[in-house]
Amino acid sequence: NPFMRNFSIIVAATFPSWGIGSKGELPWKIAKELQYFKKTTTTTTNDKKKNAVIMGRKTWESIPPKSRPLKDRLNVVLTKSDPDSSVVQSLKNYEGVLVCGSLDEALEKLSSPPYNEEIEQVFVIGGGQIYTVSFLHEKLEHIYLTKIFKDIGCDTFLDHFRNHKQWNEEWEEKECSVLLKAEEKDNMGDLSYQYFQLQRKQKQQLEQ
């Protein structure tokens, strides 16, 4: 579908082990990094528009109940459960949450009225299963990656980067003035992390 819209991924992962989660939660607590997530996914250039965040059902459940739906953003939750199931019914109790059966269905809905006018940017925010599908999608444009330089024990990984060690042949760090560096202490001790923006390399660059 040529009218399907582009989207970005936003993810924080341990580097170089590419862990993203443990026991259904984020395995670290970095308040400033979460603020960066909030700011990046919420900010729009047109103040009449909102962004959309697409997530899997398990990621929805991992967000603290007081923080969900993520405010000032359209929350799109993916589940393969039957529309009549209790999982889907309870999701529909939340106002402004859109439930879809697949990433493609979500992107198609976001490409048609009223969302095509109301929604400015689309972010996939996880988790593991949804990132895997997203990395293979031709409409994926940018990756907002936070590398956390610590080998924290995880049970969920960014399989695409973990398995394709040559991922940096396909993706390049975007030249951007807002490349931020940060260091902060968390409750597990010293932790350093860094924000990256990746974009797909041009065909010509790939052939070199």
List of residues contacting ligand FOL (CB under 6 A): 10-12, 26, 33-35, 37-38, 59, 62-64, 67, 70-71, 125-126, 146
CB 110 within 8 A of CB 4: no
The phi and psi torsions of 9 (rounded to 5 degrees) equal -105, 140
CB 74 within 8 A of CB 53: yes
Please, what is the minimum distance in Å from the beta carbon of residue 39 to ligand FOL? 9
- Comparison of 179 and 206: residue with beta carbon closer to ligand FOL: 179
User: Under 8 Å CB-to-CB from 63, ≥6 apart: which residues?
Assistant: 70
Bridge partners of residue 156, in order along the sequence = 21
Q: Give the number of other CB atoms < 10 A from CB of residue 83.
A: 11
Q: How many CA atoms lie within 13 A of 92 on its CB side?
A: 12
Bridge partners of residue 19, in order along the sequence = 157
- Comparison of 117 and 185: residue with beta carbon closer to ligand FOL: 185
Please, what is the minimum distance in Å from the beta carbon of residue 127 to ligand FOL? 7
- Comparison of 32 and 117: residue with beta carbon closer to ligand FOL: 32
- Comparison of 107 and 124: residue with beta carbon closer to ligand FOL: 124
Q: Is 26 noted as a catalytic residue in this protein?
A: yes
- Comparison of 167 and 196: residue with beta carbon closer to ligand FOL: 196
Q: Is 34 noted as a catalytic residue in this protein?
A: no
Please, what is the minimum distance in Å from the beta carbon of residue 175 to ligand FOL? 20
Compute the chain's Rg from CA coordinates: 17
CB 154 within 8 A of CB 27: yes
Catalytic residue among 25, 33, 70, 74: 33
Please, what is the minimum distance in Å from the beta carbon of residue 44 to ligand FOL? 14
Please, what is the minimum distance in Å from the beta carbon of residue 36 to ligand FOL? 6
Six-digit token pair at 67? 């923080």
Bridge partners of residue 75, in order along the sequence = 53, 97
Catalytic residues: 26, 33
